[in-house]
Structure 1
Amino acid sequence: MKYILSAVMVFVLCNTFAQNSISGIIVDRDTDTRLPFVNIYIPELETGTSTNDNGEFILNNIPNGNYKITYSYLGYETKSQTMTFPNTEPLTITLVTSAVEMDAIILSTPFHKLQSENVMKVDYEKVSDLKAIGAITLTEGIDNIAGVESITTGLSVGKPVIRGLSSNRVLVYAQGVRLENQQFGAEHGLGLNDAGVESIEVIKGPASLLYGSDALGGVLYLNPERFASFNTNSADFNATYFSNTLGYSTNVGYKESGEKFKFLFRGSVTGHSDYDAPDYRVTNTRFKEEDFKAGLGYQVTNFKTEFRYNMNHSSLGIPEEIGEQSTSKTPLLPYQDITNHIFSSKSTVFFDNSSLEINLGYIYNNRQEFEDEHHHDHHDDETEEEHEEHEEDEEHDDDHAEEEAALNMKLKTFNYDLKYNLPDYGRFETIVGVQGMNQVNSNYGEEILIPDATTNDLGVLATSHIHFETVDVQLGARFDYRNILIDETISKNYTSFNGAAGLKTTLFDFVITRFNVATGFRAPNLSELSSDGVHHGTNQYEIGNINLVNEQNIQLDLALEYDSDHFEFFVNGFYNYIYDYIYLAPTGETIDDVPVYNYTQDNAKLYGGEIGLHFHPHPLDWLHFESSFESVTGQQDNGDYLPQIPANSILNTIRVEYDTKWLNKGYAFVKLRSTFEQNKVSIFETASTGYSLLSAGFGGTISLFKNDLSISISGTNLTDKSYVNHLSRLKPLGIDNMGRNFSIGLSYKI
């Protein structure tokens, strides 16, 4: 590794490529009117600019080679073109009006294409749009993406579920590196705040070819906010109030970009009281969170790099039963105290017509769990009444500084990702790469759920995108090796070879068709191999199985899309077969009055899909009707249903968009989510009843002191419906989900 980095630095210092520029004007195709504030972006360079009041733009520091350039503007179709540099010709770009949402560059796939150009179907959502419709947390926001749900513990903990798979089967990427934060646990959340996250991409299906182990079920890819455009700066303040939890979420940020250097930072503070169900507050669902993000970038003609850092600290209550009715935001015992540090760097060296990408990441996760007094030793001669009084006193003591964590785990992860983009050869775009990870888990508490261990990964991959006249084809293969050393005595090795193939074409001149087949794998995690103790977050005594083997799957995915000026329709179907699926099964025994669960394996299958439409009738282009339906079924080979499979649901939305003299980018919406009964449950679960939730909201942007002030007001569960989601971990306790909530958000940009 050090030789590679040294060679890169020598190359950067010695290389004398000429500096290229691009300039031009952007106009409306029909009126020839010049368009101001159009976004110009080069995804390979992660740099861009915007047109001035006269529709003019200029962008410098472009290396020699072929680069995709995108032009996007609200109300117009996103345009993409590939240019070869050096090129000194000024451009005249024409854009076509459209009521369809702007197309986005997809960064979670290796070729950085527009969403409409990808062979693999990827869902994309802006975080600002999810917050505008009332999402309180990041994980609650992703529930609005068809095929994506969350396993939740109140509001503070949410784990993404992609087509019925979750935990270690779904890989999360942040700042361009894989996030490792003990995500095997059902009560462990993302450990991320939405402040400073610009957009979310979801790969639904095995992505082991691109990401290795743990991407068997899909990838949740979080894109950090972009640096400021070339030679600009900006600052903003954002605040949201939530009526149900008497909660708040605030953040402030600043960013600036010059000729070569650019930087940004953002700090946020969040606090929520116990959420209010229709008939009671759910005790100890309260939480606090502090988050800080910073970034520094440097770019010259043939080299760019950026460093990012994220610190997230949260104190999360662990709900057990309905008790104290309080609006305090300080968690009671038991609670989690989690600190997460993410350091990442992304560098690219540009050659003539090729490039080398070097991504490095270091994640430090410290997870502490503080328990009720009855989990600690106490005097045997205490009377029951004295013990209850002692317990009550401790529960109401908000200062936990002197408490010792019963569970205290530190996870340190270093990962690297090197990809070489070969020169284009005819119809072929090809990438080869090497990825790896070193991970050390250490225990410092009196309780040990999983032992000390070291994990090492190494993967080698190659993938090509092949362009034909009417068909695009993508092929790839990958080999992975993983070693897990447990307590320095037990060594386990896992290997896997995986491939993927896909094609994209157009049927009948208007239906885009994508068909993908891919294999994926997941090596057993430490919890599944070696846990031996009470997991208080789940109230289970869990016993690992050192003889577990890889999960291996194959998934078929078919996506059809119809897109016209005023009507869009899509249908996705999938079939996913998993060999040696790992799951927890109760033994019927108890230890210390806690039920015992063993890890075991069996083959399983999941199948289903999503259907959706978007209608915006002419000439009422400001009016939008949107609807989506999602369904997934999971079964073992013996016919038993898999646990934690989301119920079928349908989401209907009516949305309007408008501009007035005093309100820009105005919008209003009414949304109805109908969740059906879930009767296809595992033998360890109970069925769940259906329900419907009504939401509505409006917002827009006004000018205040010559700067933009965005306002959003929304309400969720407006009928104050009493319901329990099938994926709520509070369901076995008979505890309802959150009741009616109103959110008021402000965002002021300077």
Structure 2
Amino acid sequence: MKNIIFGLLLLVATTTYSQYSASGTVIDTNTGGPIVGAAIQLQKPERSTITDLSGNFSLDNLSEGTYSIVISSLGYGTRTFKFQLPGATGLQIELEPTAIEMEEIIVSTPFHQLQSENVMKVERMTVESLERGGVNGLTDGLSQIAGVESITTGTSIGKPVIRGLSSNRVLVYAQGVRLENQQFGDEHGLGLSSSGVESVEVIKGPASLLYGSDALGGVLYLNPERFAPGGETIVDAQTAYYSNTEGFEANAGVKTSGEKFKYLLRANLATHSDYETGDERRVTNTRFTEYDLKGGIGYRDENYKGDLRYNLNSSRSGIPEEIGVQSTSKSKMLPYQQVDNHILSLDNSFYFNESSLDVKIGYLFNNRKEFEDAHHEEHEEEHEQEEEHEHEGHDEHEEHPEGEPALEMHLETINYDVKYHFPARGKFSTIVGVQGMFQTNENMAEEILIPNARTTDAGVLATTHYHLDKIDFQAGLRYDFRRISSEAYENHDTETEVAALERDFNSYNGALGVKVDLTPNLTSRLNLATGFRAPNLAELTSYGSHHGTNRFEIGNRDLENEQNYQLDLALEYRNQHFELSANAFYNSINNYIFLNPTGEFMDENPVFEYLQNNAKLYGGEVGLHIHPHPLDWLHFESNYELVIGEQDNGDYLPLIPAQSVLNTIWVELADKETLKDTYVSLSLKSVFDQNNTGFFETETPGYSLLNAGIGTSIAMGTARVQVKLAGTNLLNKTYISHLSRLKPDGIPNMGRNISFGLGVKF
């Protein structure tokens, strides 16, 4: 390790000092006139500027080498332009007028390219666009992305589902580091808030080449909000009210940037009562309160970029089991869980003459507690009602001393990600890297879901991109090793000793993809990738009742890696009037791990055991986006998604989302002197019947949900006042999602919800 650190310092010390400049003009292809205010973004080292009134720009203090910039401007197609120093003065860059929306750089793939240049298809949406529909949390908003749904427990707990795969088969990245928060279970949330998140990127399909184990089904990559532009200070505050839960949310942030240092701080509070269904009954104990704090310090110079960020997310969520006490109280009610999630990340980029080194280090601490014993409420009358409900519904739970959790787990993780970007050689770009993780789990209370354990990961990868005028190739290989060591423990309910475990897992994986521009408007992508997932501690070592799921789970110490192979074909057609896309996939999974009911009962709960069988998932998405020119303010979008999951024996897999169609009409009005960013939207999501059910599932009837939103910003001097009004399930439909964990109890999802938001930005 000392030699590695010394080598990095030596590379930085011997870097040639910056001494060159790049300058040029951005013009309109049709008229030849200058484009004012075009954004110029240098990718490595990260730098940005805008064109002046003559369309000119300049980037100073650069070293000798090859560089790539992304040029974007409203009303024009986004373009990537490469140049070499010295000699990059008087550049002339042309942009073509278009009604197609500006593209953004994709961060979750290694070469940080525009989606139109990317071999791998990645879905990207800003959190602002997700929240325009009045969604009640981050996971709720994700269901607006084609191919993405959520497994939910009420309104506070949700886990993303990508093409039918979820939990440990979907990897989540936040602040550039791998999120670890006991995601083996779907009875608690992500431990993340949309506050301070700028955009969401979704890789649909195996991404083990880039991210290792647990990326078998895909990756959810959350990009944090950017720092303020150089020399600026931005202050903002927002508040929102939600009618259904009588919920309240407040958010405030400040960020400022100097020449080299940048700072930001953001805080968020959200609190909600039990949600109300379409038949006007409140679902008892779905109340929750969430606090979120984010801070960041950034540094930029010619040879180095560093981002140090911290996030604390603390949530207290009720664990619902039935429709009982009708209350709008926000006070805690048993049973409930308290989850504190800490993320500390350091993202470093070192820039050399023609190469660069990215080093990301993350420290995560997840403290998960569940409370099941006697409690105290502020109001005596409510206390008596809820105590009666507790004795009726939770007699089977073990009594614990007042104020102490029945379950407490501390998960501590250190992970690292190091990638070296070789100098470009002709049309080749190549990256090699190492990734790894050191993790410990420690139980602090009597109830044990998984034992005290240590997990060690290590992986090495190499990937290359080859670019031609109309064809792009990308390929890569990776090797991973994981060791899991757990301590013996005793199940006190059954007086059973579970032996210690030590297992090693390893896997080779690869990916090969090609993008072909068949015509100037038609693009095809074909990707073949493999992925893997090592069994988690719950699957290997469980033995006992899990009250959050009302199951007695028995692990299987002999489980092997899940290994999958996915073929993905995408076609996209784009012109100034509409965009049409079709994406089909076939995913074969060897040794798929699943829970199977044995028909027995232990500790008054049905017994489920972990088994393996080969499985397959297949389906796809079709999307249409119409934006007729010159009516560029009018948009119509339609997205269809289909997933079918089967075992080799013909049985369907559980928790597979039903077919659905999301139709949206939205209008973006031109900015006026006072009103800015004005929009109106109307959407209808139609979910089909789900009759392809797993062994212990029941069929779910379809439903349709009507949503709407309207908003604008009012310019008042240097300030902007933001006003938003949104409604979800406007027809107050009583329905049950197939992916709701409350479905077995016949508990419907949320009914009509009207939200009103007010904010100010300086």
The two structures have a TM-score, normalised by structure 1, of 0.94
**Equivalent position amino acid for 2:437 in 1:** M
- 8 Å CA contact retained: 1:529, 1:546: yes
- 8 Å CA contact retained: 1:59, 1:230: no
Q: Secondary structure at the match of 1:732?
A: helix
- 8 Å CA contact retained: 2:436, 2:458: yes
Q: 1:591 aligns with which of 576, 599, 602?
A: 602
The equivalences for 1:77-476 within 5 A come to 77-86=77-86, 89-278=89-278, 279-373=280-374, 388=388, 391=391, 403-476=403-476
Q: Secondary structure at the match of 1:108?
A: coil
Aligned to 1:669: 681
Taking the aligned partners of 1:61 and 1:405, their CA distance within structure 2 comes to: 57
Q: 1:657 aligns with which of 641, 657, 668?
A: 668
Taking the aligned partners of 2:737 and 2:392, their CA distance within structure 1 comes to: 31
Task: Give 1:596 deviation, angstroms.
Answer: 0.9
Aligned to 2:380: none
Task: Give 1:482 deviation, angstroms.
Answer: 0.5
- 8 Å CA contact retained: 2:727, 2:754: yes
- 8 Å CA contact retained: 1:585, 1:600: yes
Aligned to 1:381: none
- 8 Å CA contact retained: 1:308, 1:344: yes
Taking the aligned partners of 1:119 and 1:389, their CA distance within structure 2 comes to: 55
Unaligned runs of 5+ in 2: 376-384, 489-499
Q: 1:721 aligns with which of 724, 733, 736?
A: 733
Aligned residues: 737
Aligned to 2:717: 705
Cα distance change, pair 33–244 in 1 and its aligned pair in 2 (3 A): farther
- 8 Å CA contact retained: 1:436, 1:457: yes
- 8 Å CA contact retained: 2:588, 2:617: yes
Q: Cα deviations across residues 305-327 of structure 1 (Å, max 9, x unaligned)? A: 11111111111111111122112
- Pick which of 89-98 and 485-494 moved more: 89-98
Taking the aligned partners of 2:390 and 2:185, their CA distance within structure 1 comes to: 31
**Equivalent position amino acid for 1:200 in 2:** V
- 8 Å CA contact retained: 1:126, 1:198: yes
Task: Give 1:233 deviation, angstroms.
Answer: 2.3
Task: Give 1:430 deviation, angstroms.
Answer: 0.5
Q: Secondary structure at the match of 1:77?
A: coil
Aligned to 2:378: none
- Pick which of 8-17 and 364-373 moved more: 8-17
Task: Give 1:71 deviation, angstroms.
Answer: 2.1
Q: Cα deviations across residues 509-538 of structure 1 (Å, max 9, x unaligned)? A: 532000000110000000000011111111
**Equivalent position amino acid for 1:584 in 2:** L
Cα distance change, pair 421–392 in 1 and its aligned pair in 2 (3 A): same
Taking the aligned partners of 2:758 and 2:67, their CA distance within structure 1 comes to: 37
Task: Give 1:49 deviation, angstroms.
Answer: 3.3
Cα distance change, pair 394–465 in 1 and its aligned pair in 2 (3 A): closer
Taking the aligned partners of 1:635 and 1:212, their CA distance within structure 2 comes to: 25
Taking the aligned partners of 2:293 and 2:22, their CA distance within structure 1 comes to: 35
Q: Cα deviations across residues 60-84 of structure 1 (Å, max 9, x unaligned)? A: 4544433321122333221221232
Aligned to 2:566: 555
Aligned to 2:379: none
- Pick which of 505-514 and 712-721 moved more: 505-514
- 8 Å CA contact retained: 1:49, 1:230: no
- 8 Å CA contact retained: 1:61, 1:300: no
> In the alignment, is residue 477 of structure 1 matched against residue 477 of structure 2?
yes
Taking the aligned partners of 2:386 and 2:328, their CA distance within structure 1 comes to: 27
- 8 Å CA contact retained: 1:523, 1:550: yes
Q: Cα deviations across residues 393-416 of structure 1 (Å, max 9, x unaligned)? A: 999xxxx99511111000001111
Q: Cα deviations across residues 579-609 of structure 1 (Å, max 9, x unaligned)? A: 0000111111111211111111000000000
- 8 Å CA contact retained: 2:16, 2:352: no
Taking the aligned partners of 2:171 and 2:393, their CA distance within structure 1 comes to: 41
Cα distance change, pair 331–696 in 1 and its aligned pair in 2 (3 A): same
Cα distance change, pair 389–736 in 1 and its aligned pair in 2 (3 A): closer
Task: Give 1:740 deviation, angstroms.
Answer: 0.7
Taking the aligned partners of 1:730 and 1:250, their CA distance within structure 2 comes to: 29
Cα distance change, pair 86–339 in 1 and its aligned pair in 2 (3 A): farther
Cα distance change, pair 120–707 in 1 and its aligned pair in 2 (3 A): same
Task: Give 1:54 deviation, angstroms.
Answer: 6.5
Cα distance change, pair 387–23 in 1 and its aligned pair in 2 (3 A): closer
- 8 Å CA contact retained: 2:16, 2:63: no
The equivalences for 1:726-741 within 5 A come to 726-741=738-753
Taking the aligned partners of 1:561 and 1:500, their CA distance within structure 2 comes to: 21
Q: Secondary structure at the match of 1:728?
A: coil
Taking the aligned partners of 1:749 and 1:521, their CA distance within structure 2 comes to: 45
Q: Cα deviations across residues 141-169 of structure 1 (Å, max 9, x unaligned)? A: 11000000000011111100000000000
- 8 Å CA contact retained: 1:25, 1:93: yes
> In the alignment, is residue 538 of structure 1 matched against residue 549 of structure 2?
yes
Q: Cα deviations across residues 449-502 of structure 1 (Å, max 9, x unaligned)? A: 100000001101000101234311101000111000111742100010011100
Task: Give 1:28 deviation, angstroms.
Answer: 4.4
Cα distance change, pair 514–394 in 1 and its aligned pair in 2 (3 A): closer
Taking the aligned partners of 1:457 and 1:394, their CA distance within structure 2 comes to: 40
Q: Secondary structure at the match of 2:737?
A: coil
**Equivalent position amino acid for 1:346 in 2:** D
Task: Give 1:350 deviation, angstroms.
Answer: 1.6
Cα distance change, pair 56–317 in 1 and its aligned pair in 2 (3 A): farther
- 8 Å CA contact retained: 1:483, 1:492: yes
Task: Give 1:709 deviation, angstroms.
Answer: 2.3
Task: Give 1:16 deviation, angstroms.
Answer: 4.8
**Equivalent position amino acid for 1:569 in 2:** L
**Equivalent position amino acid for 1:316 in 2:** S
- 8 Å CA contact retained: 2:174, 2:222: yes
> In the alignment, is residue 620 of structure 1 matched against residue 631 of structure 2?
yes
- Pick which of 86-95 and 242-251 moved more: 86-95
The two structures have a TM-score, normalised by structure 2, of 0.93
Task: Give 1:743 deviation, angstroms.
Answer: 1.6
**Equivalent position amino acid for 1:682 in 2:** G
The equivalences for 1:566-581 within 5 A come to 566-581=577-592
Cα distance change, pair 548–394 in 1 and its aligned pair in 2 (3 A): closer
- 8 Å CA contact retained: 2:639, 2:661: yes
Taking the aligned partners of 1:207 and 1:219, their CA distance within structure 2 comes to: 7
- 8 Å CA contact retained: 1:316, 1:337: yes
